[in-house]
């Protein structure tokens, strides 16, 4: 209802009151969220940024960190004049950013969706892998690490039969610069462990994980679920790491139901 001097006018405003911010994984960009931009726009205002150095976002002058990515998102929300708390969703690297954002700006968040992600920091072995990937990109360009990635990003089910998704994925991965990828690998390598903060999460949280995720184990999803107080854990049987793209209808339904039950 809008109050003017004489009467209260009733009106329909199609712009939903809930804002859903979707943070992409590595080495992707906002385009990985097309099934959500199209499928969740009736339940929420959907905002999907490209992190600096990815997609159409500039790399900027400072070397990014996970903290910097989180600050960039806060600045974006400020610029858009969105002061009301949002639902923050991150896939994999995007989840690392979402946890950092929540740590720094908890009042700006009304719900968290953590998908195909983990709370722990890189192990020593993983840090060595990151450095190797940085070396490969420096010598041969980002294509050298991007080309073999789909086999680990997708479940066997989708890798073996979803040619359309494979094509989309390779198109999306063409939009990261060598510099953007190197910076993100260093940012992930140096990120802190978020596990001690999980029990302090005071907003409803939804975890969605593909049962055939070859990058982040089901066990890591379960650990987050055990430690976050108000948490729901859902598995998608046929999905791998890119579960929102592999099983979009099921992923969107889980989110829609959770928003209706926990947030609205
Ligand atoms: C991602 O999908 O964002 C990455 O695989 C995360 C990581 O390498 O830790």
- In tens, the pLDDT along 234-262 reads 999 999 999 999 999 999 999 999 999 99
pLDDT of 16 reads 78
Report helix, strand or coil for 221. Answer: helix
Q: Of 197, 202, 240, 29, nearest to 112 (Cα)?
A: 202
> Which atom of ligand 1 approaches the CA of 153 most closely?
2
Question: From ligand 1's centre to the CA of 201, what distance in Å?
Answer: 22
- In tens, the pLDDT along 186-237 reads 999 999 999 999 999 999 999 999 999 999 999 999 999 999 999 999 999 9
Q: Residue for token digits 């009151």?
A: 17
Q: What are the Cα distances from residue 51, in Å, to 29, 244, 256, 262?
A: 7, 18, 25, 28
pLDDT beyond 50 at 1 = no
Better pLDDT: 62 or 185? 185
- Residue 174 DSSP code: T
pLDDT of 212 reads 98
Question: From ligand 1's centre to the CA of 200, what distance in Å?
Answer: 24
Atom 7 of ligand 1 has which residue's CA nearest to it?
93
pLDDT band at 57 (very low <50, low <70, confident <90, very high): very high
- Could you give the dihedral angle defined by the CA atoms of residues 132, 99, 223 and 243, in that order, rounded to the nearest 10 degrees? -70
Atom 5 of ligand 1 has which residue's CA nearest to it?
26
Report helix, strand or coil for 25. Answer: coil
Question: From ligand 1's centre to the CA of 132, what distance in Å?
Answer: 15
Q: Of 37, 26, 38, nearest to 97 (Cα)?
A: 26
CA distance 175 to 41: 24
CA distance 94 to 90: 4
Q: At what angle do helices 178-189 and 124-140 cross, to 10 degrees?
A: 170
Give CA angle at 44 (38, 45), nearest 5°. Answer: 80
Report helix, strand or coil for 111. Answer: strand
**Mean pLDDT across 165-193:** 96
Question: From ligand 1's centre to the CA of 92, what distance in Å?
Answer: 5
Q: What percent of the chain has pLDDT over 90?
A: 89
Q: What is the mean pLDDT of the chain?
A: 94
Better pLDDT: 42 or 211? 211
Q: What are the Cα distances from residue 206, in Å, to 78, 97, 193, 226?
A: 25, 16, 20, 12
Q: What are the Cα distances from residue 113, in Å, to 45, 102, 220, 257?
A: 15, 11, 15, 13
- Phi/psi region, residue 64 (left: phi>0; alpha: psi -120 to 50; beta: rest), is beta
CA distance 203 to 88: 11
Q: Of 122, 139, 149, nearest to 220 (Cα)?
A: 122
Contact 119, 198 (CB under 8 A): yes
pLDDT of 2 reads 46
pLDDT of 14 reads 60
pLDDT beyond 90 at 7 = no
pLDDT beyond 80 at 11 = no
pLDDT of 264 reads 81
**No. of helices (H) and no. of strands (E), the chain:** 12, 8
- Indicate the length of the chain as a whole number: 264
> Which atom of ligand 1 approaches the CA of 130 most closely?
8
- In tens, the pLDDT along 85-129 reads 999 999 999 999 999 999 999 999 999 999 999 999 999 999 999
Residues with CB under 6 A from ligand 1: 25-26, 92-93, 188, 215, 241
Identify the H or E element spanning 86. strand 86-91
């Amino acid at each position: 209802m809008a109050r003017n001097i004489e009467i209260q006018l009733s009106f329909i405003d199609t712009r939903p009151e809930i804002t859903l911010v979707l943070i992409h994984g590595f080495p992707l960009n906002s385009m990985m969220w097309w099934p959500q931009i199209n499928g969740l726009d009736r339940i929420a205002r959907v905002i999907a940024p490209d992190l600096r150095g990815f997609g159409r976002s500039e790399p900027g002058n400072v070397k990014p960190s996970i903290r910097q990515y989180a600050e960039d998102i806060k600045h974006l929300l400020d610029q858009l004049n969105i002061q009301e708390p949002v639902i923050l969703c991150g896939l994999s690297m995007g989840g690392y950013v979402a946890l950092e954002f929540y740590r720094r700006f908890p009042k700006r968040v009304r719900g968290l969706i953590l998908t195909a992600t983990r709370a722990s920091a890189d192990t020593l072995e993983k840090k060595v892998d990151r450095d190797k990937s940085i070396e490969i990109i420096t010598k041969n360009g980002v294509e050298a690490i991007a080309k073999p990635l789909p086999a680990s990003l997708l479940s066997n089910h989708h890798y073996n039969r979803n040619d359309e998704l494979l094509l989309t994925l390779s198109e999306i991965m063409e939009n990261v610069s060598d510099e953007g990828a190197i910076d993100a690998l260093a940012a992930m390598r140096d990120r802190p462990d978020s596990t001690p903060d999980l029990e302090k999460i005071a907003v409803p949280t939804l975890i969605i994980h593909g049962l055939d995720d070859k990058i982040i184990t089901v066990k890591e999803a379960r650990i987050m679920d055990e430690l976050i107080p108000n948490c729901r854990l859902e598995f998608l049987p046929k999905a791998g790491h890119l579960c929102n793209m592999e099983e979009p209808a099921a992923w969107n339904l889980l989110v829609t139901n959770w928003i209706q039950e926990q947030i609205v």
